[in-house]
Chains A and B, each alone.
Chain A
Amino acid sequence: EIVMTQSPATLSVSPGERATLSCRASQSLSSKFAWYQQKPGQAPRLLIYAETTRATGIPARFSGSGSGTEFTLTISSLQSEDFAIYYCQQYRSWPYTFGQGTKLEIK
Chain B
Amino acid sequence: QVQLVQSGSEVKNPGASMKVSCKASGYTFTDYYLHWVRQAPGEGLEWMGWINPDSGGTNYAQKFQGRITMTRDTSISTAYMELSSLRSDDTAMYYCARDLWAAGFFDYWGQGTLLSVSS
Please, which residue of chain A has its CB at the minimum distance from the CB of B96? A43
**Chain B 52-90, CB within 8 Å of chain A: the 1/0 string?**
000000010111000000000000000000000000000
Report yes or no: B45 in contact with A87, Cβ–Cβ below 8 A: yes
Please, which residue of chain A has its CB at the minimum distance from the CB of B107? A46
Report yes or no: A97 in contact with B110, Cβ–Cβ below 8 A: no
Tell me whether chain A's interface is mostly helix, strand or loop, or mixed.
loop
Q: Which of B10-18, B24-32, B98-106 contacts A (4 or more CB under 8 A)?
A: B98-106
Specify which chain A residues have a CB less than 8 angstroms from the CB of B45 in the assembled complex. 36, 44, 87, 89, 98
Report yes or no: A96 in contact with B47, Cβ–Cβ below 8 A: yes
Whether A97 touches B103, Cβ cut-off 8 Å, given contacts A43-B109, A43-B111, is: no
Size of chain A's interface in residues, with CB distance under 8 A?
A: 21
Report yes or no: B105 in contact with A95, Cβ–Cβ below 8 A: no
Q: Indicate if B44 sits at the interface (CB-CB under 8 A).
A: yes
Q: How far is the CA of A100 from the CA of B95 in the complex (A)?
A: 17
Size of chain B's interface in residues, with CB distance under 8 A?
A: 21
Report yes or no: A94 in contact with B59, Cβ–Cβ below 8 A: yes
Q: How far is the CA of A33 from the CA of B54 in the complex (A)?
A: 25
Residue in contact with B103 in the complex, picked from A43, A49, A100, A101, CB distance below 8 Å: A49
Q: Indicate if A32 sits at the interface (CB-CB under 8 A).
A: yes
Specify which chain A residues have a CB less than 8 angstroms from the CB of B106 in the assembled complex. 34, 36, 44, 46
Please, which residue of chain B has its CB at the minimum distance from the CB of A4? B44
Q: How far is the CA of A69 from the CA of B112 in the complex (A)?
A: 31
Q: Indicate if A91 sits at the interface (CB-CB under 8 A).
A: yes
Report yes or no: A95 in contact with B62, Cβ–Cβ below 8 A: yes
B binding-site residues for A, Cβ under 8 Å: 35, 44-47, 59, 61-63, 95, 97, 100, 103-107, 109-112
6 inter-chain pairs at a CB distance below 8 angstroms, sorted by A residue, are A32-B103, A34-B105, A36-B45, A43-B109, A94-B61, A101-B44
